[in-house]
């Protein structure tokens, strides 16, 4: 029988979730710069995006592991 794959640590899941949320906020940055928004508005919005999406992405990654589909990783 094959041995089960090692589970990623909680810290690794939080880091992956943070990076995914940061990538999402960078997408907003591009749109905000094209729309010529004020710098303070951009910083506050990007921070809010990261704060809101990080736990959501963490929950999604944990569910993927529980269902047997590990989170996607870059090759």
pTM of the model: 0.75
Predicted local confidence at residue 9, as pLDDT: 86
Q: Is the pLDDT at 19 greater than 90, yes or no?
A: yes
Q: For the residues 45-68, what does the mean pLDDT come to?
A: 92
Q: Which residue has the tokens 């589970």?
A: 7
Predicted local confidence at residue 24, as pLDDT: 94
Phi/psi class of residue 48: alpha, beta or left (left: φ > 0; alpha: ψ in -120 to 50)? Answer: alpha
Average pLDDT, the chain: 87
Rounded to an integer, what distance in angstroms lies between the CA atom of residue 25 and that of residue 43?
10
SS3 19: helix
Q: For the residues 45-56, what does the mean pLDDT come to?
A: 96
Name the residue with higher pLDDT: 3 or 57.
57
Q: Is the pLDDT at 4 greater than 80, yes or no?
A: no
Q: Which residue has the tokens 């990007």?
A: 46
């Amino acid at each position: 029988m094959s041995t089960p794959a090692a589970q990623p640590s909680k810290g690794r899941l939080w880091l992956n979730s943070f990076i995914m949320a940061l990538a999402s906020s960078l997408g907003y940055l591009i749109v905000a710069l094209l729309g010529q928004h004020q710098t303070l508005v951009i910083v506050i919005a990007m921070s809010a995006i990261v704060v809101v999406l990080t736990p959501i992405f963490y929950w999604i990654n944990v569910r993927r592991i529980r269902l047997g589909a590990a989170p996607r990783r870059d090759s």
